[in-house]
């Protein structure tokens, strides 16, 4: 019975990314990088671990820094336009979000050691993730209301009218404060609902993740390129979700509700990266790299507000629940990758990369409240699987002009999801003796499903996301 109740309770945390408590989606969100970086890196799908010589590739494989034969400064910006389409109970929804952002700034310092060897130092900051996103989902539900879920949990965990807050049912306690549910005649009762409830969710997220990197690399005998990086990632992420219901039955005491959840998460981490590239004119370029686990220190806070709108009178009643700042720690797993590239002299190149990360090895904890987050580690073990990352890219050269294309696919890290996240990209570049400019376009597509509340009570919302990225990179030899 407890497992059945938890099966209903967990989707409260998962109804969107705006849950005001930790859940394992935070681990995935922080671990998964977007394809942000230099225009050349993006236009080739990020298939750069065996190539290097690009500031956007150093964070993937630090050995790519060793390929530089000159000092350079690089600057990148991007524009993102994201369109999201939803389908809920046959009703279509659409929303749009667009932002112009700084993407990357990097410096490479080159020093010759001998005629066949050199040492390079790099300093860079780049944005790895853009969390800007919006969606609207709306439809008519003939099966249930979110109040049904609150009623079920109240009767299960507090059957004798015990304190809902003491039972850990904060949202149910808010529903009781508002009067949507109440204890009477030996059981919890429901005072709002209907046979055809109009349900709507408006969701918005913002923020991003960036990395400050210090890099070292050496090339020996024009054959071996070896590098390492010290990285300090930073995170800023916030969401607002407004869920509403209306069109309750005439017998209800209320004609609707509005439930608003706000959530913010900030953090700083530490990670080391190491890599190597072997170069042979006959067989091509072979790479391998490893990223250590990332150790994060995170702070989150948020709030939840529930408003019940009275029937007939036009008035309302409100319950608010602030969530004070909470410190916790997270360790994301190590990542391993290999790559191969072949350069057709001055005509062009082809490159392919593969990476693997075993997400079930992720873990969270709280030094303030030991053991309080153990349930998330259990969920990671049950609901998260390793993910695989494949990148393919190519470049054609026509004197000073370059034409590029790429494709990137990533498997889902969720055990119940076999969808692939795909990204298509292309771009052009111009290179002179002392400077160059690159332009890239990338299309990211993702399809998934989510639930307003417990999937036992409500049908899924289908969601399709189309992210368009236009990136510009300008670089100068110094």
- CATH code, domain carrying 227: 2.40.160.60
Cα distance between residue 323 and residue 358, in whole Å? 32
What is the Cα gyration radius of the chain?
26
The CA angle 464-468-474, to the nearest 5 degrees, is: 160
pLDDT at 13: 33
Residue 277 belongs to a domain: yes
Distance between CA atoms of residues 303 and 259, nearest Å: 11
What is the mean pLDDT of the segment spanning 379-383?
Answer: 91
Average pLDDT of the residues in 164-188: 94
List, in order, residues 6 or more apart from 2 with CB less than 8 Å away: none
Size of the chain in residues: 478
> Number of C-alpha atoms within 13 angstroms, CB side, residue 305?
11
- Is 113:77 a contact under the CB 8 Å cutoff? no
Above 90 in pLDDT, residue 448? no
Read off φ and ψ for residue 243, nearest 5 degrees: -110, 135
Strands (E), 157-196: 181-184, 187-190
- The string of pLDDT tens digits covering residues 278-300 is 999 899 999 999 999 999 999 99
* Residue 437 and residue 421 in contact, taking contact as beta carbons nearer than 8 Å: no
Apex CA 425: angle with CA 420 and CA 430, to 5°? 160
Assess if residue 82 is contained within a domain. yes
Is the pLDDT assigned to residue 21 strictly greater than 70?
Answer: no
Mind listing the pLDDT tens digit for each residue in 31-84? Answer: 887 778 899 999 999 999 999 999 989 999 999 999 999 999 999 999 999 999
Half-sphere exposure (CA, 13 Å, Cβ side) for 83?
5
With both helix axes pointing from N to C terminus, report the angle between 146-157 and 2-14 in degrees, rounded to the nearest 10: 140
For 133, phi then psi, to 5°, come to -170, 145
Contact predicate 325/299, CB 8 Å: yes
Residue of 209, 215, 239 lying closest to 119 (CA atoms): 215
Q: Is residue 171 part of a domain?
A: no
Neighbours of 154 (CB within 10 A): 26
| Mean pLDDT, residues 91-119 | 94
Distance CA 158, CA 281 (A): 72
- Say how far apart CA 92 and CA 76 lie, in whole Å: 36
Q: Which residues contact 108 (CB under 8 A, 6 or more apart)?
A: 55, 65, 68, 70, 71, 72, 73, 74, 120, 121, 122
For residue range 396-414, what is the model confidence (pLDDT) as tens digits?
A: 999 999 999 999 999 988 8
Report the SS3 class of residue 232: strand
Residue 15: pLDDT band (50, 70, 90) is: very low
Straight-line distance from the first to the last Cα atom of the chain, in angstroms, rounded to the nearest whole number: 68
pLDDT (mean) for 187-203: 94
From the list 474, 477, 469, 476, the residue with the least C-alpha distance to 43 is 469
Tell me how far apart the alpha carbons of residues 39 and 103 are, in angstroms, rounded to a whole number: 10
Question: What is the rounded CA–CA span in Å between residue 15 and residue 28?
Answer: 16
**Distance from C-alpha of 452 to C-alpha of 59, rounded to nearest angstrom:** 37
Pair type for strands 118-130 and 197-220 = antiparallel
Average pLDDT, integer, range 291-318: 93
Residue 180 belongs to a domain = no
335 falls within a domain: yes
Q: What is the mean pLDDT of the chain?
A: 91
Q: What is the pLDDT of residue 277?
A: 98
Q: Which of 353, 240, 351, 374 is nearest to 302 (CA)?
A: 240
Choose between 116 and 393: higher pLDDT: 393
Report d(CA 241, CA 308) in Å as an integer.
17
Q: Is the pLDDT of residue 20 over 80?
A: no
Tokens standing for 93?
């929804």
Contact status, residue 122 vs residue 215, Cβ threshold 8 Å: yes
Domain count, the chain: 1
pLDDT of residue 416: 83
DSSP string, 385-439: --EEEEEEEEEEEETTEEEEEEEEEEE-SBTT---EEEEEEEEEEEE-SSEEEEE
Q: Is the per-residue pLDDT at 311 higher than 70? A: yes
Asked if residues 77 and 474 have their Cβ atoms less than 8 Å apart, the reply is: no
Task: Give SS3 for 37.
Answer: coil
pLDDT in tens, 157-173: 999 999 999 998 999 99
pLDDT in tens, 211-263: 999 999 999 988 999 999 999 999 999 999 999 999 999 888 899 999 999 99
Token representation of residue 50: 């065996």
Boundaries of domain holding 374: 2-145+192-477
Euclidean distance between CA atoms 7 and 51, whole angstroms: 47
Is residue 176 one of the residues assigned to a domain? Answer: no
pLDDT over 70 (residue 19): no
φ, ψ of residue 341 in degrees (nearest 5): -145, 150
What pTM did the predictor assign? Answer: 0.85
Beta bridge partners of 357: 335, 387
Inside any domain, residue 185: no
| Strands annotated E in 144-253 | 181-184, 187-190, 197-220, 224-246
Number of Cβ within a 10 Å radius of residue 293: 18
């Amino acid at each position: 019975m407890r497992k059945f109740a938890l099966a209903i309770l967990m989707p409260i945390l998962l109804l969107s990314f705006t849950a005001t408590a930790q859940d394992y989606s935070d681990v995935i969100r922080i671990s998964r990088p977007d394809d942000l970086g230099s225009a050349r890196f993006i236009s080739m799908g990020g298939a750069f671990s065996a190539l290097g010589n690009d500031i956007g590739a150093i964070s993937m494989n630090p050995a790519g820094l060793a390929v530089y034969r000159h000092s350079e400064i690089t600057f990148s910006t991007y524009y993102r336009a994201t369109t999201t389409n939803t389908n809920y109970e046959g009703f279509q929804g659409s929303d749009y979000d667009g932002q112009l952002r700084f993407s990357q700034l990097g410096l490479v310092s080159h020093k010759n050691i001998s005629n066949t060897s050199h040492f390079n130092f790099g300093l860079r900051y780049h944005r790895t993730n853009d969390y800007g996103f919006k969606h609207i989902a709306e439809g008519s539900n003939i099966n249930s209301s979110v109040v049904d879920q609150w009623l079920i949990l109240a009767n299960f965990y507090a059957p004798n009218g015990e304190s809902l807050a003491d039972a850990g049912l904060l949202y149910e306690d808010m529903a009781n404060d508002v009067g949507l549910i109440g204890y009477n005649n030996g059981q919890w009762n429901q005072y709002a609902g209907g046979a055809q409830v109009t349900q709507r969710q408006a969701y918005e997220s913002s923020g991003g993740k960036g990395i400050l990197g210090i890099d070292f690399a050496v090339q020996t005998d024009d054959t071996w390129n070896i590098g390492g990086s010290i990285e300090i990632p930073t995170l800023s992420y916030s969401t607002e979700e407004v869920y509403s219901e209306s069109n309750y039955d005439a017998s209800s005491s209320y004609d609707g509700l509005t439930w608003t959840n706000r959530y913010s998460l900030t953090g700083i981490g530490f990670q080391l990266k190491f890599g190597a590239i072997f170069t042979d004119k006959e067989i091509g370029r072979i790479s391998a790299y490893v990223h250590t686990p990332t150790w994060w220190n995170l702070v989150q806070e948020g709030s939840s507000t529930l408003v019940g709108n009275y029937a007939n009178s036009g008035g309302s009643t409100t319950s608010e629940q602030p969530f004070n700042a909470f410190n916790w720690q997270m360790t994301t797993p190590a990542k391993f990758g290999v790559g191969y590239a072949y350069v057709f002299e001055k005509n062009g190149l082809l490159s392919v990369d593969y990476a693997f990360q075993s997400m079930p090895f992720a873990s969270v904890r709280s030094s303030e409240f030991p053991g309080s987050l153990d349930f998330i580690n259990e969920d990671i073990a049950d609901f998260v699987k390793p993910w695989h990352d494949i990148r393919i890219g190519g470049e054609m050269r026509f004197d000073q002009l370059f034409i590029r294309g790429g494709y990137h696919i990533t498997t889902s890290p969720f055990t119940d999801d076999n969808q692939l996240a795909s990204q298509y990209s292309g771009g052009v570049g111009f290179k002179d003796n002392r400077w160059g400019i690159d332009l890239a376009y990338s299309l990211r597509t993702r399809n998934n499903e989510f639930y307003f509340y417990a999937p036992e009570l409500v049908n899924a919302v289908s969601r399709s996301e189309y992210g368009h990225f236009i990136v510009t990179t300008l670089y100068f030899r110094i």
